[in-house]
Amino acid sequence: DWTTTNVVEEQVAAIRAQVGTKRAICGLSGGVDSAVAAALVQKAIGSQLTCVYVDHGLMRKGETEQVEKDFVAATGVQLKVVDAQERFLNALAGVSDPEEKRKIIGREFIRVFEQAQAEIVAEAGAEGEDVAFLVQGTLYPDVVESGGGTGTANIKSHHNVGGLPDDIEFELVEPLRQLFKDEVRMVGQELGLPEEIVQRQPFPGPGLGIRIVGEVTKERLDLLREADAIAREELTAAGLDRDIWQCPVVLLADVRSVGVQGDGRTYGHPIVLRPVSSEDAMTADWTRMPYDVLAKISTRITNEVADVNRVVLDVTSKPPGTIEWE
Ligand code: XMP
């Protein structure tokens, strides 16, 4: 029988069998998957788990604070926050290719985790531990779309599956590998996580790095963060959070178009809104959003975000488009 209680019991037993008395770390991204994976592992091995939040500068506005406060408050988990913004920006400098970005971000994550793991082991006075476990919130669709499943082409390297480097020193713990998103949410609920975490819309591990079409720079990230915050604020205000699966906000950094503002000519970048409806992210349709909400988002973004003079709506389903642009 598939029940959340059974899933939790099975996974707790499997995690205990795999990790034993050793230590594990879990990267938290602020998303549902890593939060539920962490809560499951914590239930299984308690204080042998330390969560690591890598602040890579590719997060949305307010996300770091949310992880630091909400998740820790809900679970009481041990949390280590690593400021890695410069490291990621340096590694991404000059890179525009989507797969290359994904690989770089996956690699840098692992390098930061390795460092964090070494520090945690040292702090605990447990030098000499040979196996280091890394908990990942990999879902079934991630496995399939990264080419790890049965018979599916390699669409993108999800950073928690295909995007990891080959020389990884961790043994992976992936308790959600057989689950779909709605099931993960149910498991999260069963584990007592708060609504704000369990019902959060999906956000990709590589963050805003794969929502800038073109090179990732600090200025572009700041600009996209502003536009994204406005879109999210208005979607929430309109009560649409539960109707929309997610709404990526994408910056076309290498595209410019002519505009006019006041008496002046502008030559700025477009922002793409990508609201989608979906059951499991494997397929999706573009959401027929109310025009007045779109209008409000467009007006605010072009007024409030410097260098953006145009907002466009993505009306492509998946397939043929993917949800994220990269
Ligand atoms: P695509 O763009 O492949 O996205 O249609 C499907 C779903 O997966 C999310 N996504 C990711 N999630 N790591 C993640 O944890 C990733 O590398 C990644 N790439 C895409 C995306 O937001 C959507 O919900």
ipTM of the complex: 0.99
Using one digit for the tens of pLDDT, what is the confidence trace for 23-38? 999 999 888 999 999 9
Ligand 1 atom nearest 33 alpha carbon: 15
Ligand 1 atom nearest 326 alpha carbon: 2
Query: Do the annotations mark residue 31 as ligand-binding?
Result: yes
Candidates 200, 196, 220, 199; CA nearest to 208 is 220
Question: Domain ends where: 169, 198, 227?
Answer: 198
Average pLDDT, the chain: 92
Clarify whether residues 60 and 160 are in a common domain. yes
Contacts of residue 264, Cβ cutoff 8 Å, sequence gap at least 6: none
Lowest mean pLDDT among 91-95, 147-151, 162-166, 240-244: 147-151
Q: Is residue 326 part of a domain?
A: no
Ligand 1 atom nearest 29 alpha carbon: 15
Mutation pick for ligand 1 pocket among 101, 142, 143 (CB with most ligand atoms within 8 Å): 142
Residue 160: band (very low, low, confident or very high) from pLDDT cuts 50, 70, 90: low
Q: What was the pLDDT predicted at 70?
A: 84
Ligand 1 interacting residues, C-beta cut-off 6 A: 145, 155-156, 158-160, 202, 204-206, 246, 281, 318, 322-324
If 0-12 CB within 10 Å is exposed, 13-18 middle and 19+ buried, where does residue 111 land? middle
Residue 150: band (very low, low, confident or very high) from pLDDT cuts 50, 70, 90: very low
* CATH number of the domain within which 165 lies: 3.40.50.620
Q: What was the pLDDT predicted at 185?
A: 96
Which tokens belong to 137? 């919130």
Query: How much distance in Å is there from the Cα of 121 to the middle of ligand 1?
Result: 32
- 229 lies in which domain range? 211-313
Better pLDDT: 75 or 237 = 237
Query: Do the annotations mark residue 29 as ligand-binding?
Result: yes
Which one-letter amino acid corresponds to residue 268? Answer: G
Q: What was the pLDDT predicted at 151?
A: 43
Query: Do residues 283 and 224 touch, judged by C-beta distance below 8 A?
Result: no
Clarify whether residues 171 and 232 are in a common domain. no
* 122 CA to centre of own chain: 29
Q: Whose CA is nearest to atom 10 of ligand 1?
A: 204
Residue 162: band (very low, low, confident or very high) from pLDDT cuts 50, 70, 90: low
Residue 161: band (very low, low, confident or very high) from pLDDT cuts 50, 70, 90: low
Clarify whether residues 218 and 191 are in a common domain. no
Q: Is residue 117 part of a domain?
A: yes
Lowest mean pLDDT among 35-49, 69-83, 206-220: 69-83
Better pLDDT: 12 or 197 = 12
Which tokens belong to 198? 């369990």
296 to 192, 194, 235, 292: CA distances (angstroms): 36, 30, 10, 6
Q: Inform me whether the pLDDT recorded for 315 exceeds 90.
A: yes
Q: Inform me whether the pLDDT recorded for 130 exceeds 70.
A: no
Ligand 1 atom nearest 210 alpha carbon: 19
CA distance linking residue 116 with residue 132, whole number of Å: 11
Task: Give the number of domains in the chain.
Answer: 2
CA distance linking residue 319 with residue 98, whole number of Å: 18
CA distance linking residue 37 with residue 127, whole number of Å: 26
Candidates 138, 104, 128, 130; CA nearest to 27 is 138
Question: Domain ends where: 198, 226, 255?
Answer: 198
Residue 152: band (very low, low, confident or very high) from pLDDT cuts 50, 70, 90: very low
* CATH number of the domain within which 283 lies: 3.30.300.10
